[in-house]
Amino acid sequence: MTREQELDFLKNEAQVVKEQLEDIEVRIKKLEAEE
Amino acid sequence: MKIAVSAIAPSLDAEVDPRFGRCQHFVIVDPETMEFETLENPNVMAGGGAGISTAQMVSNMGVQVVLTGNCGPNAYQMLSAAGVQVITGVSGTVRDAMEGYKAGRLQATAQPTVGPHFGMGPGMGRGMGMGPGMMMPPAGPYPQAQSPEQEIEMLKGQTEMLRQQLEAVQRRIEELEGKK
């Protein structure tokens, strides 16, 4: 894998992880509101 | 004695990679001399079975202990069967991890810490043809939450893990961009 490919790959991963964190945050807020 | 530490780069000063099966590298260290060798993980892009393949590879190298961030059930089972001690929740640099191990601050893990397929992502982007990506945690909490309180606790744990992953990825991006 070239450096550029790795960079693209990692940027994509960073975006995926950020979206997952947002989803989890939403779920936590929802669960906390239900309590 | 050989200790394998999952790492994002082949160096003692590299950050510990929070994934086991799809980590980028292993740094295999002799804790007495701190001499080390490195191994690029060929399973970093694997679509499935990465945990087992990586566990086989590591156990074939005569490693007695694995230090990593998280370990799924398949890899954990394989490593345990091969008599390899698994220590999870490890972060910082490889050197920090080794110092923590030698000081007895790290405890062996009694069970897998993530579900199967942890570290797999939705893909590499259009047209790269490189198979699934990394970093996607299991679709739901693992193990199954019994109550909302437990689910919240699990999600908070998952959040912490993902933040660590994100930091590791961002550090690697900065490193690569710095080399341009």
The answer to whether the Cβ–Cβ distance between A28 and B125 falls below 8 Å is no
Please tell me which of the candidates A11, A21, A31 has its beta carbon nearest to residue B159.
A21
* Domain ranges across chain A: 1-35
Please tell me whether residue B27 adopts helix, strand or coil conformation.
strand
Nearest-neighbour CA in chain A from B83: distance (Å)? 33
ipTM: 0.92
Please tell me which of the candidates A7, A17, A35 has its beta carbon nearest to residue B148.
A35
Q: What is d(CA B56, CA B150) in angstroms, rounded to the nearest whole number?
A: 33
Q: What is d(CA B154, CA B145) in angstroms, rounded to the nearest whole number?
A: 8
User: Tens-of-pLDDT digits for all 180 residues of chain B?
Assistant: 999 999 999 999 999 999 999 899 999 999 999 999 999 999 887 766 788 889 989 988 999 999 998 888 888 888 888 889 999 889 899 999 999 999 988 877 766 666 555 555 544 333 333 333 344 444 333 444 567 887 888 788 878 878 887 888 888 889 889 865
State the DSSP string of A12-25. HHHHHHHHHHHHHH
Contacts of B128 in chain A (CB under 8 A): 5, 8-9
Tell me the domains of chain B and their CATH numbers: 3-102 (3.30.420.130)
- Asked whether the CA dihedral B168, B171, B177, B180 is positive or negative, the reply is negative
Contacts of B43 in chain A (CB under 8 A): none
The answer to whether the Cβ–Cβ distance between B125 and A9 falls below 8 Å is yes
Interface of B with A in 106-165 (CB under 8 A): 121-122, 124-125, 128, 130, 133-137, 148-149, 151-152, 155-156, 158-159, 162-163, 165
Task: Note the pTM of the prediction, 2 decimals.
Answer: 0.56
Nearest-neighbour CA in chain A from B124: distance (Å)? 6
For B42, counting Cβ atoms within 10 Å of its Cβ (0-12 exposed, 13-18 middle, 19+ buried), the class is exposed
